[in-house]
Amino acid sequence: MKKFIAILFATIALTACGNSSQVATKSYIAGNGAVTFIEPEDRKMGPTFSGKTLDGDYFELPNGGIVVLNVWASWCSPCRAEAPTLAALANKYKGVVFLGVLTRDSEVAARAFQKRFNLPYPTLVDDSVLLGFRDTLSANAIPTTILMDPKGRVAARISGEITVASLSDLIEKLHAE
């Protein structure tokens, strides 16, 4: 009987541990790559933001120009998958401001990620800048990529992993305006 009670107790303890890890998993939402584009007449102003970058520098959002803001974390598989594409597009579109926003991650892991994928743009370490998007297109998944037009208005969002086609198309639409 003592052996049965010990096994029962161990089973209950292990089950409780399993449930807590499921709760942690549910707090991460992965996007499906859905693209949302807002017509110019319906756009709202985006936030102005600044802050410390992974490199320890200070970044301030410049006035004018298209902005591509990518929310990422080093532990995120779709973030790793899209990193080479983001780096290539940042190198292709030199007049576009690319900026990363680190979320739910350590700076040490993020620096290793940034170095591994040779990201040519800065990454802000304070994800509180994302609160400024709550009345427009908020970051609703990891990764999320938000585009702002040259007037500083929120123009588009990709929820989930970007592709060359999806991000290039949005940048070209904004250039054509």
In a domain? residue 17:
no
Residue 28 has pLDDT above 90, yes or no: no
Q: Is residue 8 part of a domain?
A: no
Q: What's the rounded Cα separation, in Å, for the pair 114 and 65?
A: 24
Q: What is the mean pLDDT of the chain?
A: 86
CATH number, position 75: 3.40.30.10
Count CB-CB contacts under 10 A for residue 109.
Answer: 13
pLDDT at 172 over 80: yes
13-22, 135-144, 152-161, 163-172: least confidently modelled range: 13-22
Number of domains in the chain: 1
48 part of a folded domain: yes
Which range of residues forms the domain containing residue 102? 29-176
Judged against a pLDDT cut of 70, whether residue 50 lies above it is answered with yes
Chain CA centroid to CA 169, Å? 19
**Is pLDDT above 60 for 63?**
yes
Work out the average pLDDT over 135-144: 92
- Asked whether residue 86 is assigned to any structural domain, the reply reads yes
In a domain, residue 65? The reply is yes
Taking residues 13-25, report their average pLDDT.
34
Q: Mean pLDDT over residues 83-87, rounded? A: 98
pLDDT, position 69: 98
- The reply to whether 146 falls in a domain is yes
